[in-house]
Amino acid sequence: MKNIGLFGGSFSPIHHGHLAMARLACEQFELDHLFIIPTAEHPFAKESLTISGEDRASMVECAVQADPHLSCWRGELNRLGVSYAIDTVGQFAQDYPNATIYYLIGADNLASFHKWHRVEELLKKVVLVVASRPGSSDDTCGLEGDIRFFPSPEWGISSSTLREYLSKGFSCRYLIHDEVRNYIDENKLYR
């Protein structure tokens, strides 16, 4: 593979906004493949990890099963401690030594990206691709590296809102993939 994408997060649960962003990145940057990576222990969003890594990875697999350009990578779930992007990027650089690695984040993460573990080293190893929302600027927030922006619609929905809806018994149909909804129902998640 020549161009690979990495998209990490809690994905609790993964929703159509995540999937659309991943697919748009594949098309914009001509990615051969994009790996969606559920984090084991998120350094910034611990409250989103009330569901096991196994369940979150299974939901990602349900969501991407019909798209040959997307898959779930479970490697961070096997690590002990906090999951850092730099460690994951290092693993992919070893597994795909001739590939260019594109690391996908949402525009909402860019302002705090300077707080990421070993950020300068990370920015030397990846093309940072930022899903910009309507009305947002393409300001790199003082970061130095190969940073590229691509348009992504404003979804107005978040995983935290979906967790709240699901806990109240709402189906979240049309907000999350049907297979993900089925998995949530079968496993009685977010109740």
Output the DSSP codes for the chain.
--EEEEEEE--TT--HHHHHHHHHHHHHTT-SEEEEEE-SS-SS-GGG--S-HHHHHHHHHHHHTT-TTEEE--GGGGSSS---HHHHHHHHHHHSTTPEEEEEEEHHHHTTGGGSTTHHHHHHHSEEEEEEPTT-----TT--S-EEEEE-------HHHHHHHHHTT---BTTB-HHHHHHHHHTTTT-
Contact (CB, 8 A) for 129 and 102: yes
Calpha distance 190→164 (Å, rounded): 8
Higher model confidence: residue 185 or residue 139? 185
Across 34-38, 99-103, 108-112, 152-156, least confident range:
152-156
Whether 46 has a pLDDT exceeding 60, the answer reads: no
What is the per-residue pLDDT across 109-138, written as a single tens digit (0 to 9) for each? 888 899 999 999 999 999 999 998 776 777
Tell me the pLDDT band of 152, cut-offs 50, 70 and 90. confident
At 153-180, the pLDDT tens digits run: 877 788 999 999 999 999 999 999 999 9
Write down the pTM of the prediction.
0.93
Q: What is the mean pLDDT of residues 61-72?
A: 97
Select the more confidently predicted residue: 142 or 44: 142
Q: What is the pLDDT of residue 47?
A: 56
Is residue 44 predicted with pLDDT exceeding 80? no
9, 39 Cβ separation under 8 angstroms: yes
Residue with tokens 């302002």: 111
What's the pLDDT score for residue 156?
79
Question: Domain coordinates of the chain in residue numbers?
Answer: 3-185
- Assigned CATH class of 3-185: alpha beta
Residue 48: pLDDT band (50, 70, 90) is low
CA distance 3 to 136: 26
Chain-wide mean pLDDT for the chain?
92
